[in-house]
Amino acid sequence: MRECVAVRHLPFEDMGYFEQVLRDEGWSVRYVDAPREDVADIDAINTDLLIVLGGPLGANDEAEYPFLADELQVLERRLEKNRPTLGICLGAQLMARALGAAVAPAVKSEIGWLPLMLTSSGAVSVLRHFDGAPVFHWHGDAFDLPEHAVPLASTPDCPHQAFSVGANILGLQFHPEITPQGLESWYVGHYRALQDSPTPNVRDLRADGNRHGNALRRNGTLFLREWLAGLE
């Protein structure tokens, strides 16, 4: 059985419904909790699939959180060998850094539901399954486009929402994996961020999640299955 290793930074920021899709497609799933486990022990070359998940940290915060430096080293080794890797939010930012691109505060934080604007390459990629439907965003930083990466999507306040390098390497600034039920833990765990930001209130976020969650799961399932099938 092929194994997916998922690097997690907070217990409630997990793979959401992606985990069930992976299991349905014949993958085993194992979490590595970066703050408590040795990320450096991940076999960067032989692990079948590595998914690096999101979190409230910044991709440049390795001085305060040394495990981020270990993640960067794992990603550098893995991406150099073109091993299947998916980054979501913080994970995509770390991938961008590992590929030599900068990560910095975004012009504007994005928290909430809004659609992607697909590039011409994105429109014929696996991201086409999200075309026209709102997806979930929660980030204050953004990445530059790595050299040799193909830009796939943007939003008005974030010019780089997704990039790919070949068939095996995919970075997503947005969150395709969440469920409305899972977001309830986010609203509690990130209470202070919601209070300190000019964002929609929890009631509005919850209403939007209930409105768009089923479509996100349907579209995201098609996206993930197709991406997995195309891995080299």
Q: Is the dihedral of CA 170, 107, 202, 188 positive or negative?
A: positive
**What kind and span of H or E run contains 220?**
helix 202-229
- Per the CB < 8 A criterion, the answer to whether 134 and 217 are in contact is no
Residue 47 has pLDDT above 90, yes or no: yes
Mean pLDDT of the chain: 97
Query: Is the model more confident about 199 or about 206?
Result: 206
- What DSSP assignment string belongs to 145-195? PPTTPEEEEEETTEEEEEEEETTTEEEESSBSS--HHHHHHHHHHTHHHHH
**pLDDT score recorded for residue 111:** 95
Beta-carbon contacts of 159 under 8 Å, excluding residues fewer than 6 positions away, are: 142
Predicted confidence (pLDDT) per residue in 14-40, tens digit: 999 999 999 999 999 999 999 999 999
Give Dmax (Cα) for the chain.
46
Of residues 196 and 171, more confidently modeled: 171
Asked if 139 and 173 count as a contact pair (C-beta separation under 8 A), the reply is yes
Structure letter (DSSP) for residue 179: -
In contact, 114 and 134? CB cutoff 8 Å: yes
Single-letter code of the amino acid located at 110 = E
98 closest CA partner among 58, 69, 61, 64: 69
* Model confidence band, residue 77 (pLDDT cutoffs 50, 70, 90): very high
Q: Which of 67-71, 93-97, 194-198 has the lowest mean pLDDT?
A: 194-198
Structural domain spans, the chain: 2-229
Q: How confident is the model at residue 152 (pLDDT cuts 50, 70, 90)?
A: very high
Mean pLDDT of 137-142: 96
- The predicted pLDDT at position 72 comes to 98
> Does the structure show a pLDDT above 90 at 198?
no
Asked if pLDDT for residue 69 goes beyond 90, the answer is yes
6-25 core/surface letters (b: 16 or more CB in 10 A; e: else) = bbbbbeebbbbbbbebbeee
- Burial (CB count within 10 angstroms: exposed 0-12, middle 13-18, buried 19+), residue 215: middle
Percentage, residues of the chain above pLDDT 70: 100
Query: Is 12:189 a contact under the CB 8 Å cutoff?
Result: yes
Q: Does 197 have pLDDT greater than 80? A: no
Fold observed for domain 2-229? Rossmann fold (3.40.50)
Tell me, what's the pLDDT at 195?
Answer: 87
Q: Is 195 or 127 the better-scoring residue by pLDDT?
A: 127
Structure tokens at 208: 């939007």
188 SS3 class: helix
Reply yes or no on whether the pLDDT at 193 is more than 90: no
